[in-house]
Amino acid sequence: MSTYKNFTVETDADGIALVTWDMPDKSMNVFTMEVMDEIDAIVDVTVADAAVKGVVFTSGKSSFSGGADLTMIKSMFSMLAEEQARDPATAAQKLFDAAGRMSWLWRKVETNGKPWVSAINGTCMGGAFELSLACHGRVAANSKSVKIALPEVKVGIFPGAGGTQRVPRLANAQDALQMMTTGSSLTAQRAKAMGLVHQVVEPAELINAAKQMIKDGLKAVAPWDEKGFKVPGGGIWTPAAAQLWPAAPAILRRESAGNYPGALAILKCVYEGLQLPFDTGLKVEQRYFTEILRTTEAFSMIRSLFVSMQELGKGARRPAGIPKTEFSKIGVVGAGFMGASIAYVTAAAGIPVILVDQTQEAAEKGKAHSEKLVADQVGKGRMTKEEGEKLLALITPTPDYKALSDASLVVEAVFEDRAVKKAVIEAVEAVIPETTIFASNTSTLPITGLAENSKRADQFIGVHFFSPVEKMMLTEVILGEKSGDKALAVALDFVAAIKKTPIVVNDTRGFYVNRCVFRYINEAYDMLIEGVPAAMIENAAKMAGMPVGPLSLNDEVAVDLSQKIMKASIADLGPNAVKPEHMALVDQLVDVFDRRGRKNSKGFYEYPAKPAKKFLWPELKTLYPQKKASEVDVSVLKQRLLVTIALEAARTVEEGIVTDPREADVGSILGFGFAPYTGGTLSYIDGMGVKNFVALCEKLAASYGPHFKPTPLLKDMAAKGETFYGRFDPYAKVGEAA
């Protein structure tokens, strides 16, 4: 057998070649051009070797594979850009050929003449599962770690290496469409029930079971390559299909508002492909995949949700030359909802936590929050009782600050009051060594001002979590004016340890995410005051791609919190900091009607007892004279909601709050769900072109107020034909540092 960099091939006495994928210097196997070249060579070698009767393909790591490598995806887009500039006529053909490389390699595996079995352990995503589908047999380990998915739609594309053709030829069309258009993960048992996996066995038996399939005479022919093959459910021309296919595009539009071309392409590929011979279906898929790769949505989503998110998660903004911190103990001061949640995610990462509050009872109450979360996870089968007990044992509740004396990081999560935080900072610094980093979890108070209470401002930093902490993937790391590189490195190491995605921002009121969130909410206030029906505001937001409407979001963050923030802004910045009409609206809701949001079951919405669903407060329409629905242009509502957020993001760049466009984009999507199909706030601007965005801002400013006026930076960029990713190129900084 030949020697490979990423694979070992061992043939046993029965003539079964065990191909083990184990990439050196990688925590997870990923597809690169080198990996595909080696798989191509392995097919040739095993076919040519008469001693080989079949192949078992598996992973030498704890997971099978997460799919394609960052560099391969980036190189495909850079190749497209270069070819487009050099020779537009051949650019599409070259992209078509590149897009089909994986698809036709998997077809080569499928038609090689010898049986292949995929032995799936851990995560098996994207192209890795499409390779498994091309194998003649599939065995998955009976383990919670097994997650099988074709998640490409979540980054703007779709399963373009045979997924749209094989899945609906193995599973019924409805299940196949739901799996691919949502990108949701399947357990091993669910994959077997759908017909996508043949066997589920105990992990220790995975390889033996895979080999046994070959010994038992597994055919080296895919079902669709056999004469008389019938699609599950009978294909396109059946009574059941007559019910499914007219409804499918309508359901997709309801769920996505037509914002995701990749999702619609899945429907087209399946519908057309099931009426054609398999190889022709693959060509149809390749054609659509090439078309989708050329869309702004695919480019922007892949860049932000795949490339940038991974780069930021791996420490793209971490200062060089500072040793990585291995945390043996972390302190959390403040056992309220946020502090208790931070303690939970820290313990879930296997790190001991000292949870401090004023009394033992208060600290115990904070730990009880983790006990409730653990009980919920155990009840749902996502955690064993033993795992839950181990997690809870890592949390030590106490009123004694001295217990923090050997913590490498202390996170303060007390009430949003400068005096309260000052007292905590002083109490903590009295017991911790100079090497300990102090992080404040504040959502509104500037870090530089809080650091004035510290004797070591260079060791002081902000780490802003979002609620609910255990579900929200984003964390803002805020640099005060004196925060040092070590403080930043330790904060980023902590965020990585608890498996969150960090963005690094400079200090300002509201930081980055909350500034954008409140612009979104404020625009809804303007619309309400203009008489736009509340239901139209909420629906326009969802049609624009936002996960929840601005009024619903305001209820979640609390209407009385908006009131406090607005009053604090007026106190600090003067009466012009808040529109009087906005203050009057919020004061009326809170002070007159006691409508504080979800927390007291009444805000812009009513929250009846479950199982009844929330609904808009009927009396909202009595607060302002109402416009008729026919008088309101929904497309303009959508523009206003997206533009006001993107414009605020541009302001934060102009002010030097956000310095890396990747962080603006990823932060906006993970922080509050900014229309993911745009790739984030700055990609939204770049995607339409800065010149066009400036023109749209000026048009909206003329009709809806000066807060839509484009900033000097945007006007300058428009005049020069620049983009945010061009002018603030994050990779140029890396090159300069090198």
Q: For residue 88, how many C-alpha atoms fall within 13 Å in the half-sphere facing its CB?
A: 2
DSSP assigned state of 711: P
C-alpha torsion angle, residues 119, 125, 126, 127 (rounded to 10): -30
Smallest Cα–Cα separation from 332: which of 411, 443, 402, 404?
411
715 C-beta neighbours (distance < 10 Å), count: 16
DSSP code at position 469 = T
> How far is it, in rounded angstroms, from Cα 385 to Cα 374?
9
Query: In 512-605, where does DSSP find H-type helix?
Result: 513-530, 534-543, 550-557, 559-573, 580-587
The residue to which tokens 């780069």 are assigned: 311
Please say whether the beta carbons of 601 and 607 come within 8 A: yes
| Orientation angle between helical segments 70-86 and 278-293, nearest 10 degrees | 80
Tokens of 110: 């499928």
Structure tokens at 562: 């908006």
Q: 519 φ, ψ to 5°?
A: -65, -40
Distance CA 318, CA 274 (A): 49
* Residue 24: Cβ within 10 Å count: 6
Q: Provide φ and ψ at 639, rounded to 5°.
A: -60, -45
**Residues near 482 by beta carbon (within 8 Å), at least 6 away in sequence:** 448, 451, 457, 458, 460
By the 8 A CB rule, do 440 and 416 touch?
no
Q: Of these residues, 136, 198, 464, 582, which one is catalytic? A: 464
- What span, in angstroms and rounded, lies between the C-alpha atoms of 110 and 299? 31
Closest CA to 541 of 528, 529, 560: 528
Q: Are 472 and 453 in contact (CB under 8 A)?
A: no
Helix 634-654, helix 712-720: angle, nearest 10: 100
**Alpha-carbon span 559 to 551, nearest angstrom:** 9
Q: Which residues pair with 616 in a beta bridge?
A: 605
DSSP 63-77: SSB--B-HHHHHHHH
Which residue carries 């007990």 as its tokens? 389
Report DSSP state, residue 545. T
Structure tokens of 636? Answer: 């303009």
Q: Is 464 a catalytic residue?
A: yes
Strand 395-398 vs strand 409-412: parallel, antiparallel, or unpaired? Answer: unpaired
Distance CA 702, CA 228 (A): 66
* Long-range pairs of 604-611 with CB within 8 A, sequence gap ≥ 24: 604/534, 604/551, 604/552, 604/554, 604/555, 604/559, 605/551, 605/552, 605/555
Catalytic positions are 464
